Amino acid sequence: MPENLEAATQEQSDRQSRELPKRIVVPPIKGEMVHLRPAVIEDLDRMDAIEAYVGASGITGKDRVAERGAVRAWVRRSVAWSQGEAPSESGVGDPESRRTIAWSIITEADHDGDGRIDAANSDNVIGMIFLIDIDGWARSARIQVVLGKDYRGRGYSRDIMPRVMTYGLAPEPAGLGMHRIWVAVPEQNTRSVSVYQSLGFVPSGRSRDALWNDSQNRYQDLIVMDTLVDEFDPIRSLDAFGMHVIEDNPGVKEALSAREHSIAIRLNEKNATKPDAEGVGADDAAAVAQSVREVPSDGMDDVAASQQKNVEGVDAARQSERDDRKSVNGDADVENSWPYTAGERKTSKEAWWRTLGRGRKRDVEGK
């Protein structure tokens, strides 16, 4: 094959590889508190029933009407993609041929302790989560959660966001194959900023006076945060909130494999810079990878002490874990700030996220 033709063929192959599939099967995703299923048009009325758009200006910077309109368009775009409709055919297509995936958040439990299923009036729907503006060319997508008024602040976002991000960043065909996932947060929504930082997002920009703060009668900035595929750690992002990996969720096995590979590389790099240290064999590296996979990272000191592992490679891996966490959470990460220790999080039936919203109803708009 002539060189020019080969280059042109490769270029065409690369171009085609960045095209999104014409049809997508939206996978169900399991969480510990809730689970996700593909959103359907009928769920839009259920979002009205749970007052999902109350206080929108304080959460996303949109007014209630605009937020409702956006959610309705996102769900219709997701359904159209799952049916194989082209953007030009669906009537709700994006002019740049970007796509959207919408999941409904489902609960079948009584987390608030009132003796009833939490969302009986909305067929167990308590909100939705979206991957929006899915850009096949740039391999980028935005994530957003919209919860009903009575279901905010209970930890549901912490349960489902890392799992959706794992699917979004996992390579095809197991996942969506994104390179970047980002969020846009009003500066007044400091709670969400903190949650996103714990998930591994880092601030990447600020749009000045991009939003109107109605409660304070002034403009506010829009903070853009993102994470890249080689930065996101699905295990640590779940552990930060006392959650556990569910290995049969889409993209999880691929993420675990990639993480173990990166740990092995990290160990080799650490050992290469320390010629006087005792060598660490393949069995030691595998043991470290398995321990990091099974044990929350902020509890590794306790585990190392109990097992009396004085292997140089283990120390290197643990220090590297600390360094990574400090880059997101700062020096305060050295101390465990969560209500339960690593061991208690695994066994306690009263974990912090199970009791956070108990008996709590939100009657004040925007609270």
**Alpha carbon 53 to its chain's center:** 21
How, if at all, do strands 125-135 and 140-147 pair? antiparallel
Tens of pLDDT, residue by residue over 23-69, are 999 999 999 999 999 999 999 999 999 999 998 888 888 889 999 99
Tens of pLDDT, residue by residue over 121-177, are 788 999 999 999 999 999 999 999 999 999 998 889 999 999 999 999 999 999 999
- Say yes or no to pLDDT of 267 above 90: no
The residue among 17 and 83 whose pLDDT is bigger is 83
pTM of structure: 0.70
Tens of pLDDT, residue by residue over 308-346, are 333 343 344 334 444 444 443 444 333 333 222 333 333
- Rounded average pLDDT over 301-309: 37
Please give the pLDDT value at position 340. 25
Q: Please give the backbone phi and psi of residue 131, each rounded to the nearest 5 degrees, phi first.
A: -110, 115
Please give the pLDDT value at position 303. 34
Bridge partners for 183 per DSSP:
225
* Percentage of residues of the chain with pLDDT beyond 90: 43
Please give the pLDDT value at position 205. 93
Architecture label for domain 11-242: 3-Layer(aba) Sandwich (3.40)
Angle at 292 between CA 287 and CA 294, to 5 degrees: 95
Tens of pLDDT, residue by residue over 94-110, are 766 789 999 999 987 76
Q: What span, in angstroms and rounded, lies between the C-alpha atoms of 62 and 321?
A: 38
Bridge partners for 140 per DSSP:
135, 180
- Rounded average pLDDT over 212-237: 90
The residue among 127 and 269 whose pLDDT is bigger is 127
Residue extent(s) of CATH 3.40.630.30 domains in the chain:
11-242
Among 291, 39, 321, CA closest to 164: 39
Please give the pLDDT value at position 104. 98
